[in-house]
Amino acid sequence: MFAETAAKAQEVRDVTRIERIGAHSHIRGLGLDDAIDPRAVSQGMVGQAKARRAAGVMLEMIKEGKIAGRAVLLAGQPGTGKTAIAMGLAQSLGIDTPFTVISGSEVFSLEMSKTEALTQAFRKSIGVRIQEETEIIEGEVVEIQIDRPVSGAGNKVGKLTLKSTDMETAYDLGQKMIECLSREKIQAGDIITIDKATGKINKLGRSFTRARDYDATGAQTKFVQCPEGELQKRKEVTHTVTLHEIDVMNSRSQGFLALFSGDTGEIKHEVREQINAKVAEWREEGKAQIIPGVLFIDEVHMLDIECFSYLNRALESDLAPILIMASNRGVTKIRGTSHESAHGVPMDLLDRSIIISTTPYDEEDIKRILKIRCEEEDVEMNPDALLVLTKIGVETSLRYAIQLITTANLVCQKRKGTEVTVNDVKRVYTLFLDEIRSSAYLKEYQNHFMFSESEPEVEKEAKPMDTT
């Protein structure tokens, strides 16, 4: 049962993801060398040398499994790259290490309790690498024969002939296997593996004997050797799933399809206890390995005192990920209390945390970041226009300057241009206000807005009621 759960979760991970250009889609890593020293510009990261070096140390500790159950706080002004550092850390860890991102305010908008939302986030960030031996059939496809009913109704049947260097065997095909072969576009000359337990077909590539058909196959085709020995063999397979995925698929009220809908609901504590016991048993037998992932909570100051109390307790658990938090607040009130604390985080959680500070970018760093964003968004920008945009970023904010890249490019396309010029940047600068100009406008015309605090109260004389 446990192995089937892992296989199903692996299939969910195989679903193609739609990628778009986001605020941090240009981040590829932390931009560090082998000595954990930050490069000036690397993997989309610019500046913040001290913070990136500190994150690099944390990265090495995470890889060695020495920091599970600890907390890191990224503290700094808005727009200083806190989320970018967290994303760079996730990219450096690789796809096998679970990385979960939530916002501090997100836990209050879900249709479940706050502690349940945080529990699910924690268990999404803990991976289980399960190793098992399974029977597979591996060989080169010689021929596929599919017989269709003359009437057009009924199930298709067929035969699949596979060979290795030592033998050749024909297998009968059912409706499900025929659909799998068709979906994977398997044809003669392909090297495939078939999992006997699940029937899943995996295409390894084309046989080297078909290398003469290179022009017909294309440059992306991968050529592999024909398998040796027996067609049927036992092979060790590794599945990497998260504890939350196992929770959902073993929860009778939700089931496997809840992973697709996202509506998992609250999961009973007894289910999690049974899964924890099973995972512990598999660890002792050497069949499973725990991978402490990363839970990143952005805007952590939006959590209340109950959530912070839960985090303190959860970090002491044996199954705890690395908790990375980010806050742009100074000394402010802790939500749910009247007490003030640094970054809006209680003192007891701050004592458990390693604090990494970020500093504002200088003019040269802003220029480099804007240039990287132009490349990411596929925008051709004139050097003079980039200089003006950099000046705008220094005087206003980096985020505002980044927003002007796409809008200036749209203005350029409207006039049938191929390169964003200074006039395009000036045009969008006049169209869209930044925070400083918007505040100045409000101060000048605040009496004309509704419910303005500085609006003078107009005393109205009571008029006698007309009773006629």
Distance CA(214)–CA(226), nearest Å, equals 17
The pLDDT tens digits of the residues spanning 399-411 come to: 899 999 999 999 9
Strand (E) or helix (H) holding 132: strand 126-147
- Per-residue burial over 73-95, b = 16 or more CB atoms within 10 Å of its CB, e = otherwise: bbbbeebbbbbbbbbbbbbbbee
- Single out the residue of 368, 331, 336 nearest to residue 350, CA to CA: 331
Six-digit token string for 209:
């004997």
Question: What is the maximum alpha-carbon separation in the chain?
Answer: 112
Six-digit token string for 235:
């092979």
Q: What is the pTM of this model?
A: 0.69
* pLDDT at residue 144 in the model: 86
In this structure, of 50-54, 178-182, 460-464, the range with the lowest mean pLDDT score is: 460-464
**pLDDT reading at 43 higher than 50:** yes
Strand (E) or helix (H) holding 243: helix 243-249
- Single out the residue of 269, 245, 242 nearest to residue 258, CA to CA: 245
Strand (E) or helix (H) holding 21: none
* pLDDT at residue 16 in the model: 36
**pLDDT reading at 87 higher than 80:** yes
* pLDDT at residue 262 in the model: 53
The pLDDT tens digits of the residues spanning 191-220 come to: 888 887 777 788 888 888 776 655 555 556
Distance CA(1)–CA(279), nearest Å, equals 13
Q: Are 240 and 261 in contact (CB under 8 A)?
A: no
User: Is the Cα dihedral 113, 119, 125, 126 positive or negative?
Assistant: negative
- Single out the residue of 309, 297, 300, 316 nearest to residue 348, CA to CA: 309
Which of 19-28, 86-95, 298-307 is modeled with the greatest confidence? 298-307
**pLDDT reading at 398 higher than 60:** yes
What pairs with residue 48 in β-bridges? Answer: none
DSSP-H helix ranges across 28-113: 49-63, 82-93
Strand (E) or helix (H) holding 66: none
* pLDDT at residue 74 in the model: 92
CB atoms within 10 A of CB 241: 22
- Cα–Cα–Cα angle for 210, 211, 214, nearest 5°? 110
The pLDDT tens digits of the residues spanning 230-281 come to: 888 887 777 788 888 888 888 765 555 544 545 567 888 888 888 889 888 8
Which is higher by pLDDT, 66 or 317?
317
Amino acid in the structure at residue 412:
C
Distance CA(265)–CA(248), nearest Å, equals 9
* pLDDT at residue 13 in the model: 46
* pLDDT at residue 390 in the model: 94
DSSP-H helix ranges across 202-345: 214-217, 243-249, 258-261, 269-285, 305-314
* pLDDT at residue 217 in the model: 54
DSSP-derived letter for residue 322 is E
* pLDDT at residue 465 in the model: 46
Q: What is the full DSSP assignment across 166-198?
A: S-EEEEEE-HHHHHHHHHTT--TTEEEEEETTT
Q: Residue 88: pLDDT band by 50, 70, 90 thresholds?
A: confident
Q: Are 262 and 195 in contact (CB under 8 A)?
A: no
Phi, psi at 167, each rounded to 5°: -155, 170
The pLDDT tens digits of the residues spanning 60-85 come to: 887 776 676 678 999 988 888 888 88
In this structure, of 28-37, 149-158, 180-189, 259-268, the range with the lowest mean pLDDT score is: 259-268
Lookup result for tokens 């929770």: 247
Phi, psi at 99, each rounded to 5°: -135, 115
* pLDDT at residue 252 in the model: 60
DSSP-derived letter for residue 77 is -
Which is higher by pLDDT, 267 or 11?
267
